[in-house]
């Protein structure tokens, strides 16, 4: 029987008695989904999974993105898996060794932001390389009534070039990625389609609010990001080989920490559950 153990005050639960090599039954899927909606991040430990296992597990919870928004980092033969690694990739240094270095939710700069992400740890960094997650439902609920009314009316403009380290990547890939992902505005507060919960949707990759200048927007963006990432609203995951960490991008943000030696191997595989169509392009 699947059991859930809370991992922090703010969010996160470890699920036991799941073997990713086996197909999930309907009752198991329902129980996992309910826990996921409640805790926003779920963790499975000690898994011995291959690419097919990861994809089968992820598909139990929705349709998968084939990562066309960032097509350069897909695993060979598995377009629905992205390789996040410090190892050489396609015969040159990996462009994913520095991904996720500021607070964000995945694919927020696209017209169908990620509903959820499923990240499997093949090999963790020997020391460090943690990932932190914050609860954006709680971030919204702990705003004052007046601030909630303000953000309820805002649209966040997401700009892929605000991804930390973006311009350190291959120049031709940077140009193509920007072409594929022009700035796009999404509601700054989203209602989760499964749980009905309201969540703040503002990150460090927001350039401004639609209809406002950057100067007007910046103090609000900075406040909301600082508010969302307070220590009491964060779970910090320390990776082990065989970990599967799944997070809901509609109700969380996350950041990959740089506290590890990048000459050492750190290798992850990510499947992305595609979300609902949202937002409008900003010219």
* pLDDT on residue 163: 94
**DSSP annotation string for the chain:** --EEEE-SSSS-EEEES--TTSPPPHHHHHHHHHHHHHHSEEEE-S----HHHHHHHHHTTSPBP--TTSGGGEETTEEEEEEEESS-BTTB--TTTTTT-SSB-TTTTSSS-EEEEEEEEEE--SS---EEEEEHHHHHHTS-HHHHHHHHT-EEEE-GGGSTTGGGS-HHHHHHHHHHS--EEEESEEE-TTT--EEE---TTEEEETTS-HHHHHHHHHHHHHHHT-GGGEEEE---TT-EEEEETTTEEEEE---S-TTS--EEEEEEEE-----EE--
Q: What digits encode the pLDDT tens for the residues 97-145? A: 888 999 999 999 999 999 999 999 999 999 999 999 999 999 999 999 9
Predicted confidence band of residue 210 (pLDDT cuts 50, 70, 90): very high
Per the CB < 8 A criterion, the answer to whether 275 and 106 are in contact is no
CA distance linking residue 129 with residue 80, whole number of Å:
24
Q: What digits encode the pLDDT tens for the residues 21-42? A: 999 999 999 999 999 999 999 9
Q: What digits encode the pLDDT tens for the residues 57-96? A: 999 999 999 999 999 889 999 999 999 999 987 677 888 8
What average pLDDT does range 232-261 have in this prediction? 97
At the second CATH level, the architecture of 3-281 is 4-Layer Sandwich (3.60)
| Domain residue ranges of the chain, discontinuous segments joined by + | 3-281
* pLDDT on residue 96: 87
Length of the chain: 283
Give the chain's mean pLDDT.
Answer: 96
């Amino acid at each position: 029987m699947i059991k859930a153990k809370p991992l922090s005050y703010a969010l996160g639960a470890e699920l036991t008695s799941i073997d990713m090599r086996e197909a999930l039954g309907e009752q198991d899927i329902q129980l996992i989904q309910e826990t996921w909606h409640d805790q926003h991040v779920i963790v499975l430990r000690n898994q011995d999974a291959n690419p097919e296992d990861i994809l089968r597990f992820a598909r139990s919870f929705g349709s998968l993105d084939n990562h066309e928004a960032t097509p350069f980092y897909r695993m060979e033969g598995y377009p629905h898996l992205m390789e996040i690694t410090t190892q050489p990739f396609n015969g040159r240094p990996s462009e994913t060794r520095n991904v996720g270095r500021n607070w964000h939710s995945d694919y927020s700069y696209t017209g169908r932001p990620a509903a959820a992400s499923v990240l499997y740890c093949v090999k963790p960094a020997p020391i460090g390389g943690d990932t932190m997650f914050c609860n954006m439902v709680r971030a919204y609920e702990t705003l004052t009534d007046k601030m909630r009314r303000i953000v309820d009316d805002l649209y966040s403009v997401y700009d892929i070039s605000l991804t930390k380290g973006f311009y350190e990547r291959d120049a031709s890939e940077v140009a193509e990625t920007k072409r594929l992902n022009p700035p796009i505005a999404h509601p700054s507060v989203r209602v989760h389609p499964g749980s009905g919960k309201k969540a703040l949707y503002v990150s460090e990759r927001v350039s401004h609010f639609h209809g406002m200048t950057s100067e007007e927007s910046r103090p609000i963006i900075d406040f909301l990001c600082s508010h969302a990432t307070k220590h009491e609203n964060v779970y910090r995951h320390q990776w082990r080989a065989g970990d599967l960490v799944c997070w809901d991008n509609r109700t969380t943000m996350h950041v990959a920490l740089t506290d590890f030696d990048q000459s050492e191997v750190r290798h992850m595989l990510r499947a992305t559950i595609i979300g609902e169509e949202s937002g409008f392009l900003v010219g």
